[in-house]
Structure 1
């Protein structure tokens, strides 16, 4: 295939507003970013004039790049794109024409998304078997699969839950409100109070943005420090993750995570201000201070500025994670690595 054909396929994919499609699909509260990305790429196939597999894969890669570029947190989205493009590339078929193949790919993408919506229930059933009656659980931020697990556990057992506030987005409040409405004893704690409350906790249960190839976890910022505290207190740290969030990414530190925000933890340049002026006599400098002639620029730091200068997610090392509950079973971090290798090996 010539370079001009490749460029043509990429151009054709841009005529379809894939990011707008992705945003529209996300309006469904049951659809998570990886699934929304898969469904958006499925619609791209439906609207693509590609006539060969090379052109189609080029268009899919261009569409995935377009979504990732416009997203402030592309990690979980990227996991869905990676999974779907690998599926398209490795898809076995006996289609009589390329148009027939595209129809099959569209159908398979839609069927996978429908099936994936059942994964949370599977994970909840698996995780609840590890929850004892009378358990005190600590959870962080908001996660659909964690919510489903806690609600199912409440139907069968007595539980109570501590929920972190989860700054900067404050999504722990959403979790606490939903749990309280369901009749689950719940208490919101400050992020800075995690070490204080850990002694009262039986285990930690968190969701995930992605589970990476090392077996580590990418989740709402603050998850890493909770895992460190849990490890120090000898309390299990469990993660819940649908298999479509397994991601071939291998971060070695927090700063290996792909992020579109260049301002994270940057030191802003001080705003220009007048130099302090001392109008008093050199023999009596205190008179100048008393007269208030030293002027300093007013400093105001808003919550919005703090949020913009902080990350949405962080990375938790595999040695801090006890188990990952998924629709493919309860896995150790090492088991996640092995599963990922097999999943992308065809």
Structure 2
């Protein structure tokens, strides 16, 4: 966490503490609103947005002691976690900042001066760490050969930075999964093709089909946990399992502020899991108006002779009599947004602190939060 001591320009638009309204208080301050404003910047990820919002909380706080300040920060962090459906990334940022504040050296003349210094360091850190992605991209470049075929998943800022950087130096082609239900893989596709990188969107269900054509898998991360495992967009785990079966390297890219003191043993230990995920719907309990009825196309298919069905092609565009089926919002809500990839499936983790094995991530996390 030594990088937090810097002289970079703060990126929050608000003025620094000396010019702030002396009557401002955390009682009229909405930490979640600041968090959302920070996320409006495409370059800001949830952990950084969390650090920025807690930094602003320090600015607005009327705490007179370190105990009161840490308590206010913990309360702010809890407020964020309760109001965000997926709190994994922001929790990592909150832990990092609160840990830093707790161990911040007390060399200031008074507590107000100490708070000003904490705010300065917090803003400076968040402006510096944007460059971590460029450092990771440079580290990743050494593992990418000319004419590499890469498979990636969904959308990741650091992965896109790495791929765009590799494109300036080497010839690469990229497969990207659609990443339903949000379809963020299409965003990745648009960015890469606009940059001139040959790219093809792959169905999530076709990962095994395409794996034999790729040289390695490159994914981003929501968080890297103490076990050395990875929390990322749902589908990452099955991609890693298939890569392992096909003997293809599975590389994860993660900025060090995404390292998270969490030790899940399974998918169901993630903070995002709840009883509604993958729960069953009993048709007898559904209102009559919600009963699913077969379409006329389904009825026609059921009534057709078997010989006729055997001649029907299994590929091609659906007919106008067969509307495209999509999941309802209720069905989407019963599915997870992220999953957990166990460390045994991960080849290497590329981070701003170096290229680490999953075991190396565990060691770094212990040292990081021990000395911060």
Which residue is equivalent to 2:69?
56
1:301 Cα deviation after fit: 7.4
CA contact (8 A) 2:273 2:336 kept: no
Equivalent residues in 2 for 1:264-303 (5 A)? 264-269=277-282, 270-273=285-288, 302-303=327-328
In the TM superposition, structure 1's runs of 4+ consecutive aligned residues that sit over 4 Å from their partners are none
- Distance in 2 (alpha carbons) for counterparts of 1:101 and 1:260: 39
1:266 Cα deviation after fit: 1.3
CA contact (8 A) 1:168 1:307 kept: yes
- Alignment CA distance shift 1:46-1:310 (3 Å): same
Which residue is equivalent to 1:77?
90
2:65 is the alignment partner of 1:40: no
- Distance in 2 (alpha carbons) for counterparts of 1:106 and 1:332: 34
SS of the residue corresponding to residue 229 of structure 1 reads helix
2:310 is the alignment partner of 1:310: no
- Distance in 1 (alpha carbons) for counterparts of 2:134 and 2:326: 43
Which residue is equivalent to 2:13?
none
Residues 253-287 of structure 1 show CA distances to partners (whole Å, capped at 9, x for unaligned) of: 0000002754211123431449xxxxxxxxxxxxx
SS of the residue corresponding to residue 188 of structure 1 reads strand
Choose from 155, 158, 165 the match for 2:178.
165
1:91 Cα deviation after fit: 1.1
- Distance in 2 (alpha carbons) for counterparts of 1:153 and 1:29: 21
- Distance in 1 (alpha carbons) for counterparts of 2:349 and 2:221: 10
1:246 Cα deviation after fit: 0.1
- Distance in 2 (alpha carbons) for counterparts of 1:22 and 1:150: 28
Residues 99-124 of structure 1 show CA distances to partners (whole Å, capped at 9, x for unaligned) of: 01100000000010011110000000
Which residue is equivalent to 1:130?
143
- Distance in 1 (alpha carbons) for counterparts of 2:89 and 2:339: 13
Which residue is equivalent to 2:20?
none
User: Under a length normalisation based on structure 1, what TM-score does the superposition of the two structures give?
Assistant: 0.87
- Alignment CA distance shift 1:340-1:32 (3 Å): same
SS of the residue corresponding to residue 265 of structure 2 reads coil
2:347 is the alignment partner of 1:322: yes
2:288 is the alignment partner of 1:263: no
CA RMSD of aligned residues (A): 1.4
1:203 Cα deviation after fit: 0.2
Structure 2: runs of 5 or more not aligned: 1-24, 290-324
SS of the residue corresponding to residue 336 of structure 2 reads coil
Structure 1: runs of 5 or more not aligned: 1-11, 275-299
2:155 is the alignment partner of 1:142: yes
Choose from 77, 81, 103 the match for 1:68.
81
